[in-house]
Structure formats: structure tokens, C-alpha cells
Chains A and B, each alone.
Chain A
Amino acid sequence: GQQLNQSPQSMFIQEGEDVSMNCTSSSIFNTWLWYKQDPGEGPVLLIALYKAGELTSNGRLTAQFGTTRKDSFLNISASIPSDVGIYFCAGQLVYNQGGKLIFGQGTELSVKP
């Protein structure tokens, strides 16, 4: 089935460092979303992107919708220990199939104090 290619799979960084992760697809999506999952919990929506080229921020998080509509990027600036978790990208066809979400494999982030 469809799945997005998300990289890197894991990151080990020092507190205060910036983080970048990306997601690519062979299919075009009209919406890209980024989620964070804490251990043993369900994912929580961080940022939603609605049009190609869009750049959106949520605090220290910034995400971009690629101009080809087949990729997206998430940056976290000045990381802190509570940023630890798994970050998922998801592509969505908002007007098709009930807005089905297709997920990447996740990026597991570890932050060393």
C-alpha cells in the first residue's frame, strides 16, 4: 500500500541543537500534516500545510509543503528534552476517501540534556 518515505529514521541530538526531517512521496497530496507521538500515546497534530510552497510555524517548529506537492519538511529549532518522541509526516487527500491519511515510517528523536 501507499506509504511515504520519511528520513532520518532516528536522531540523537544535544539539547539546543536544531533538527530537520523530511518526507517524500511518489504521489501528490493536497495536504501535508506533521504529528508527534509520545511513548505509548496516540499521535497529536502539530502542523497542517494546505498549499504548495507554504511555510508554517508553530512555536519552535517550522514545516514546509514542497512545491512539487510530493514532499514536506519539518524543522525544530533549539531542541529541548520534551521534544523527545516519534514524529510522523502524513499526506492527506482531503476531498477523497474520507480524508484518508497516509503516514511515513516516523523519525524517532532523542535529545540529550
Chain B
Amino acid sequence: DGGITQSPKYLFRKEGQNVTLSCEQNLNHDAMYWYRQDPGQGLRLIYYSQIVNDFQKGDIAEGYSVSREKKESFPLTVTSAQKNPTAFYLCASIRSRSTESFFGQGNRLTVV
């Protein structure tokens, strides 16, 4: 079955440590996105990628980094420079020139 996978569901990290969230899709979608969700603030775009080896900053990219070495994978690194990293992170993929979109189940990151 085609889909988009984020794992693990729950992560705990100590303050000052980097953490990488994985996102894998087998839908053959070109575009992939990372969103951050905080209560009452909807989904805010962190980074997105339209094609392999290319990505663009979203609205809240500071303190985050990404890579897109393969079409299927778009990992997000939450660096120690991110001042408030505890949040729910959602990855999505979209077929080009289409509304066909799927979200992963999310990563709930807690930094202590």
C-alpha cells in the first residue's frame, strides 16, 4: 500500500541536542513538506522540496535543516538553535500539479 511514514511517533531529547525526524513516502510524489503544529496556531510551513536535491525555506525555517537526496525521503533536523522545539511535526507529500496530498501520522517531539 502506498503511503507516507513518519517514525517514531514520540521522541524525547535533551535540550541542546540535534534530532532528525524521518519522512518516507512511496507514492512517487515529487513535492514534500514539513509543517509544525502548535495548539491554536494551525500548521506552519518549515521547509518544502519540489524535486530531489532542491528545497526551499518556509515561514519558520530558523533552527531547522532538511535534505532531499532521494525522492522518497525528506528528513528534518531540529537543531539546538531552535528555541522552542517541543511540538507536533507533520510531513506531507503532494503529487505535482494536483491536490492529491497525504500527511504522515506526525512526530511528537518533546525537548526537556
Interface string of B62-95 (1 = CB under 8 A from A): 0000000000000000000000000000101010
Residue on A with the closest CB to B10? A40
**A9/B101 contact (C-beta < 8 A), A98-B30, A98-B48, A98-B49 known:** no
Count CB-based A-B contacts (< 8 Å).
Answer: 80
Complex: how many Å from CA A3 to CA B44? 8
Q: Does A43 contact B94, Cβ atoms closer than 8 Å?
A: no
Cα distance A92–B48 in the bound complex, in angstroms = 14
Asked if B59 is at the interface of the complex by the 8 Å CB criterion, the answer is yes
A interface residues, tally (CB under 8 Å): 29
Q: Does B60 contact A (CB under 8 A)?
A: yes
Interface string of B50-67 (1 = CB under 8 A from A): 100000101110000000
Residues of B within 8 A of A (CB): 6, 30-31, 33, 35, 40-45, 48-50, 56, 58-60, 90, 92, 94, 96-99, 101-106, 108
Q: Give the secondary structure class of B's interface.
A: strand
B40 in contact with A9 (CB, 8 Å): yes
Q: Is the CB of B97 within 8 A of A43?
A: no
Cβ–Cβ contact B50 & A104, under 8 A: no
Which residues of the partner chain B approach A40 to less than 8 Å between Cβ atoms? 105-106, 108
**Of B45, B98, B103, which is within 8 A of A99 by CB?**
B98
Q: A42-B106, A103-B43 are in contact. Are A97 and B99 (CB under 8 A)?
A: no
Report which of A31, A92, A105 forms a contact with B42, defined as CB distance below 8 A: A105
Q: How far is the CA of A100 from the CA of B30 in the complex (A)?
A: 12
Residues of the A chain whose Cβ atoms lie less than 8 Å from the Cβ of B96: 98-99
Residues of A within 8 A of B45 (CB): 1, 100-102
- Whether B42 pairs with A88 at a CB distance below 8 angstroms is yes
* Chain B contacts for A100, CB-based, 8 A: 31, 33, 45, 48
Give the distance in Å from the alpha carbon of A41 to the alpha carbon of B45 in the complex: 17
Q: Report whether A97 and B60 are in contact in the complex, using a CB–CB cutoff of 8 Å.
A: no
